[in-house]
Amino acid sequence: MDAYVQKPEEFPLSANQKSVDIRKITCPLEALERAIERSRVLTIVRAHSPLLKEHKFESDEINSKVYANATKFNINLIALDSLGDLRTILECLSENETLAIAQGYPSDKLLHHFNIKSVDQLVKLEEKSVSRNQENIGEASTAILILDIDGYDCGEEIAFDDDSSITRVVKLFIQSQLPEEFHSCSYIIKLSQSAGVKSSTLLCVHLFFILKKPATLAMMSDGFKYLQSQKLAQNVDLAIYRPAQLIFTSKPRFIGMRDPVMCDRVILVENGGELKFDFTRYEQQGVSQSSTGATLNQEDISWRLSAFP
């Protein structure tokens, strides 16, 4: 498997790319304000070139390329109230090659730079082009927990044309690799851009949960580090807990081969509501503070806005 980065100018948008206006999945200002108070906000970034993987079959092998060379992005905040809302958002994002998720929130420095003093001004950040780094996208306390399961070997074939096959192997992963609280809550499965490409026994998914108690990205990283030290949460990639890390959300592109995924790429599993998992417990375990950015004393972006004179 050969992977490398292609220059964005050599990679135009695909001809069948659907035009998805991000404003169609935004919400009224009042709803965004309520969501910020509850830490139920996604940061969406838009690039001017594609953000995805391309898989090409040639000379009897599959070569994979990653397209993520964009240096400037527009930032947009999207509010959600439930996993149903989140599923709708993810389905919309999957149809646009230039959109992705960043876990952090706009930083203090970014807000000051654009003289943003209210939530309605914050919404207009989508009109600004900014660099994607931890100076502009900082630490966040969020109720949206994302797990990146990167190549977990299920030991059996996954039927990528059958939703029930995917939900079954994900359930087995959760029951064997995650704490008990994860066993009886609802979540969303989103097949990653590598799903079914390398092997039909490898689980490559993003799992989305809504936390009853919000946590910072650093706390999430530390919590999963501790679980991994206990031989749990294997193949959970901790890189996504860096505030400015991109999480690809569009469908991948295939050349000379068909998409091995024939079922839905976004699957909602309703199994008991919000995740009642408290990440603060790992502050007692002696796990060192993550390098994902400074943890805020105040737990949501509304504090940042109220901090202006």
pLDDT value at residue 241: 94
pLDDT band with cut points at 50, 70 and 90 for residue 79: confident
pLDDT in tens, 1-52: 333 333 333 333 343 434 334 444 455 566 666 777 778 888 888 888 888 8
pLDDT in tens, 211-243: 999 999 999 999 999 999 999 998 999 999 999
pLDDT value at residue 286: 46
Where in the chain are the domains?
Answer: 2-288
Task: Judge whether residue 78 has pLDDT over 50.
Answer: yes
Q: Which residue has the higher pLDDT, 39 or 184?
A: 184
Task: Look at strands 253-255 and 52-58 and give their pairing.
Answer: parallel
pLDDT band with cut points at 50, 70 and 90 for residue 143: very high
Residue the block writes with tokens 């081969």: 257
Asked if residues 225 and 305 have their Cβ atoms less than 8 Å apart, the reply is no
Q: How many CA atoms are closer than 13 Å to the CA of 1, on its beta-carbon side? A: 11
Q: Which of 245, 261, 263, 197 is nearest to 53 (CA)?
A: 197
Interatomic CA distance for residues 149 and 174, integer angstroms: 11
Task: Judge whether residue 304 has pLDDT over 50.
Answer: no
pLDDT > 70 in the chain, percent: 78
pLDDT value at residue 308: 32
Average pLDDT, the chain: 79
Sign of CA dihedral 12, 3, 267, 144: negative
pLDDT value at residue 296: 29
pLDDT value at residue 147: 97
Interatomic CA distance for residues 56 and 199, integer angstroms: 15
Stretch among 186-200, 223-237, 271-285 having the lowest mean pLDDT: 271-285
Q: Which of 155, 257, 154, 148 is nearest to 197 (CA)?
A: 257
**What's the rounded mean pLDDT across residues 178-191?**
96
pLDDT in tens, 92-141: 899 888 899 998 888 888 888 887 777 667 766 776 788 888 888 888 88
User: What residue type is 36 in one-letter code?
Assistant: I
pLDDT value at residue 164: 92
